[in-house]
Amino acid sequence: MRHSKLVGKSIHEATKHSYLSVQLNPNYVDGSTQPCAFKVYPRFYRRVKLDENNSIHNFIKLTSCITFDKIYKDGPYQLRVNPSAGALYPTEVYVQIRGVDGFIDGVYHVEVANNCLTLIYELSDDGLEGYFIQNNRIVGFIFLVSCVYYRSSWKYQDRSIRYCFLDSGHHLGAIAASAYLHEKNIELIFDFDKLSLNADLGFENKEFISSCVIAGEVQETFSRRLRLSVPFVCGTDYFEVNQFVEDAYKATSMQPSHQHKLDHPKFNFHRDRFLENVWNRRSIRRFQGKSITQDIYWRIWEDVNQPIPTKNLEEIEIYSVVHHVEGMIPGIYNGRNLIQAGDFREKTGYLCVNQALAKDCAVTLFFVSDYENYQTALELAGFIGQRVYLFSNYWGIDCSGIGAFYDDETQDFLQTAKDVLYVMAIGK
């Protein structure tokens, strides 16, 4: 087995849940000690307020904004355009803007808390391109997704490495959805010199880049790496190291992913409805066990399985355990093929740590992979997960991501040698 695969497999192995591990370590935390989930650069940085009448502002805003805001007695409750395991939101987004009217060429932090862009670095003959494409410049946008990992490791400890990457993938999916709405082609990049970029962006050990999205024109001009480093700003109000997470990140950042020809999806959604849908995307908390129609199920399936625009592609295979789809025999499916008929509602509920969601839904989806690069594979699972949310919600179907499951028992149930990376439930 290749070294890269072994590295990923060992991280996966070390972060498995089992019936016993969950009993022994149920991840209870004191909510009042939750680290801050918003990064804010110091006040002296120049800021651009995001204006809803400006299409470029909207393109960037829709990648990361708050879409649901309520004050409860125990404090504010803010949900975002991207879902997140435990609503802990470890991910941050940065965007390099070059050659776009109305913007200083620079690297900006998307400041979700205050709906603005913070200019953290002005470009000269340098830029982010130098870390992933030599001798080229991007006129337009380069997004970076990063993780302030302590927001998640605070609760989920070592398993948080999975959630950081899955959440990053969801965030990439949110960027892809905004790009689709603003008619921009994108390319996702997972293989680049992340470690140097983390150092140059001043992240120390507390934040790490997981992926990058290009949305712009390629120009054949040399651009060197950032000439100056950005000062460190902490993304949380306090911090505790998790050595496992840091080591797992580093080990999976230095391995190449599986390579593939770049291919773009072609969606045909009604744009106004899709925009509304992006704003209203939510995780369902409880299903009523109702059926969904087969027509809508396959429409969602076809669009979810459209090409992912990246050359660094790890294949994600989806097993669907059908409980209530009109006209379909309940059972385990691989794609359109029924592998084993049966009523597996109790079983999928149990496997997902006894969460009723995975029992009462219409279909429980299991994402498995035989990856080269574990980090890339988890991010792609999250990316596909964001498609499942958005396309299900678009057709009036409810959805939730499920990161907690008994790994080995789930793998045995599906009779696959591939690692189970993520589970999703859709239904009514």
Interacting residue ranges for ligand FMN, rule: CB under 6 A: 79, 83-87, 163, 166-167, 170, 282-283, 355, 357, 400-404
Q: Which residue has the tokens 């704003």?
A: 279
Nearest residue to 62 via CA among 142, 178, 167:
178
- Give the residue with the Cβ less far from ligand FMN, 37 or 97: 37
Distance CA 129, CA 112 (A): 25
360-391 burial by CB neighbour count: b if 16+ within 10 A, else e?
bbbbbbbbbbebbbbbbbbbbbbbbbbbbbbb
Contacts for 421 with CB less than 8 Å, ≥ 6 apart = 162, 166, 316, 367, 368, 369, 377, 378, 381
Where are the alpha helices (H) located in 182-305, listed in sequence order? 194-200, 243-253, 271-280, 294-304
> Rounded to the nearest whole angstrom, what is the least distance from the CB of residue 29 to ligand FMN in the complex?
15
Q: Which is nearer to ligand FMN, 90 or 130 (CB)?
A: 90
In the numeric block, which tokens belong to residue 382? 């999250």
Structure tokens at 336: 């359109």
Distances (CA, A) of 53 to 40, 56, 159, 176, 394: 24, 9, 41, 21, 24
Closer CB to ligand FMN, 8 or 86, in the complex: 86
Judged by DSSP in three states, 260 sits in coil
Euclidean distance between CA atoms 164 and 350, whole angstroms: 24
Helix 160-181 to helix 374-394 angle, to the nearest 10 degrees? 50
Nearer to ligand FMN, 349 or 403 (CB): 403
Decide whether 163 or 249 has the Cβ nearer to ligand FMN: 163
The residue among 196 and 283 lying less far from ligand FMN, judged by its C-beta, is 283
- Per the DSSP assignment, residues forming a β-bridge with 314 are none
Nearest distance in Å: CB 16, ligand FMN: 15
Q: Are strands 363-369 and 317-322 parallel, antiparallel or unpaired?
A: antiparallel
Token pair 């022994």 in the structure block, residue: 24
Q: How near is the Cβ of 233 to ligand FMN at its closest, in Å?
A: 25
Q: How far is the CB of 167 from ligand FMN (least distance, A)?
A: 6
* CA 423 – CA 378 distance, rounded (Å): 12
Instruction: Give 127 or 403: the residue with its C-beta nearer to ligand FMN.
Output: 403
Q: Minimum CB separation from ligand FMN for residue 341, in Å?
A: 27
Distance between CA 365 and CA 411 in Å, rounded? 13
Instruction: Pick the closer one to ligand FMN by CB: 167 or 303.
Output: 167
Q: Which is nearer to ligand FMN, 2 or 286 (CB)?
A: 286
Residue 200 CB, nearest approach to ligand FMN (Å): 29
253 φ, ψ (degrees, to nearest 5): -90, -15
Instruction: Measure the CA–CA gap between 100 and 107, rounded to whole angstroms.
Output: 13
Q: Nearer Cβ to ligand FMN, position 107 or 384?
A: 384
**Minimum distance from CB of 405 to ligand FMN (Å)?**
8
Q: Reduce the DSSP state of residue 330 to 3 states and report it.
A: coil
Shortest separation between residue 237's beta carbon and ligand FMN, angstroms: 21
Q: Cβ 64 to ligand FMN, closest distance in Å? A: 13
The residue with tokens 């790490």 is 208
- The CB-of-77 to ligand FMN minimum distance in angstroms stands at 10
In 3-state terms, what secondary structure has residue 164? helix
